[in-house]
Chain A
Amino acid sequence: MAHVDDAPQVTVLPPDTAKIKKLWTVAGILGLVTLLEFGIAFGVPHEMKDLRVWTFILMTIVKAAYIVGEFMHLRYEVKVLLWSILIPMVFVVWMLVAFVYEGMSISDVRP
């Protein structure tokens, strides 16, 4: 009679197929870009160093944008949050420029 049921009443919603499909599409793009990177790593000769490096950097940024924008959902957050995360990244860009420039200068004077 006095059946105690402390299990919470949970309503499970059906899967959002459109959203799930989109997530798999993003996964496919990430996989494809990685495969393309492999293609460049072995298809484009090492002598074309600048082309290789810049393509790799560009593709990395594309992958990063998909991961942060779609998987981490940042694209759909309030713009204040989006920019609070992205704007501080200028420090990283500056550090990259300054450090690599410094490194190349050291290499010039290294015996």
Chain B
Amino acid sequence: MANPSTVTVPAPGRSVWDGGVSPMNASYGKLMMWFFLLSDAFTFSALLITYGLVRSSHHAYEGAVSAFKFSQAYWPIPEKVFASIPFFHNVNAPLVFVGLMTFILIMSSVTMVLAVEAGHRMDRRAVEKWMLWTIIGGLTFLSCQAWEWTHFIHGTHEGSAVAEGTTFFGANLRMNQYGPPDFAAFFFFITGFHGFHVFSGVMLNFLVFYNTVTGVYDRRGHYEMVEKVGLYWHFVDLVWVFVFTFFYLV
């Protein structure tokens, strides 16, 4: 019997086909998060592009912007629809509230990336602090969205005439005072789908925060979970950047 220390065994992973090689130099979890996000990007693209199709298939408003009135005959100008802010009645503030929401989400993305940076340094207290700020940012965004939806559904005081000749206030999935029925349907679908992503992101952030506080990642020896959930959270911010442009600005 040969001495075990002198036996030569072929080293595993010598050939690229033997496994144990990571050509993308990223852990399994991170890689799978990236490809999940790619598929999620397809889903959101499909929603936004279909919005583009339906919008461009409707007539655009032709007259002067200052004289704009809601009508079923053409697609509304978004800034005329989203022109309200909480606590200020009858104040015309186009896009101000949605701009604030954009700012909140960008800020929560920054606090998230700071949590990831702190995780690289194994700094538990800093991760706790930045994760908490991220969660607060996410919850604030969701609250803003709840207000925006409520306002959109209840509508303005004037309402607007619909095809049957009656006045309709606010919006549901079949009718709305702002324009063609599809307008409200897309609003609910796109911002709703994004809002659900924010919601699940807040849940995941809370899970990471909880695990950080209880020292799970200290025992594990790394804070990679913060990075993976961070990727998801940045993606949610990324989608909002596109929703903001294509639903509210254009």
Q: Interface residues, chain A, CB within 8 Å of chain B?
A: 7-8, 10-16, 19-20, 23-24, 27, 30-31, 34, 37-38, 41-42, 45-46, 52-53, 56-57, 59-60, 63-64, 67-68, 70-72, 77-78, 80-81, 84-85, 88-89, 91-92, 95-96, 99-100, 102-104, 106-107, 110
Contacts and interface: CB of A to CB of B under 8 A. Distances in A.
Mostly helix, strand, loop or mixed at chain B's interface?
A: helix
B241 A92 contact: no
Interface stretch (B3-11, B100-108, B141-149, B157-165): B100-108
B2 to A, nearest CB: 39
Interface in B74-98: 77, 79, 94-95
A102 B57 CA distance: 8
Contacts of B31: 81
A67 B41 CA distance: 14
Given A20-B114, A80-B23, A104 B121 contact: no
B69 interface: no
Contacts of B194: none
Contact of A77 (B24, B35, B107, B244): B24
Given A13-B121, A88-B38, A103-B52, A37 B249 contact: yes
Given A72-B235, A107-B59, A16 B53 contact: no
B126 interface: yes
Contacts of B38: 85, 88
